[in-house]
Amino acid sequence: MGRILEQAQRLEPVSEDHGFRIGLWLGKSPVSRIIQWHTRSIYSHAGFLTRDHQVIEAVATGMRIRPLNDDPKRLHWFDIPDLSISGWETAEAWLRKQVRIGTPYNYSGLFAFVLRHRALAHNMLFCSQSIFAAVKLGGVELLARCSEDLVAPALLAYSPLMIYRPLPAP
The structural domains of the chain, with segments of one domain joined by +, span: 2-164
Reported as a pLDDT band with limits 50, 70 and 90, residue 8 is very low
Position 19 scores a pLDDT of 56
58 DSSP β-pair partners: 63
Reported as a pLDDT band with limits 50, 70 and 90, residue 15 is very low
DSSP three-state, residue 31: helix
Whole-model pTM over 0.75: yes
Q: Is the pLDDT of residue 136 over 90?
A: yes
How many of the other CB atoms lie within 10 Å of CB of 51?
Answer: 13
More confident residue, 7 or 102: 102
Q: Is the pLDDT of residue 12 over 50?
A: no
Query: Could you tell me which of 24, 46, 27 has the C-alpha nearest to residue 36?
Result: 27
Average pLDDT over residues 43-60: 90
75 DSSP β-pair partners: 25
d(CA 64, CA 92): 12
Alpha-carbon torsion (54, 19, 57, 12), positive or negative: negative
- Summarised one tens digit per residue, pLDDT across range 112-127 is 655 555 555 556 788 8
Position 13 scores a pLDDT of 40
* Dihedral (Cα; 8, 111, 117, 7), 10-degree rounding: 0
Q: Is the pLDDT of residue 14 over 80?
A: no
The CA–CA distances, whole Å, from 97 to 8, 42, 63, 168 equal 32, 30, 9, 28
The CATH number given to 2-164 is: 3.90.1720.10
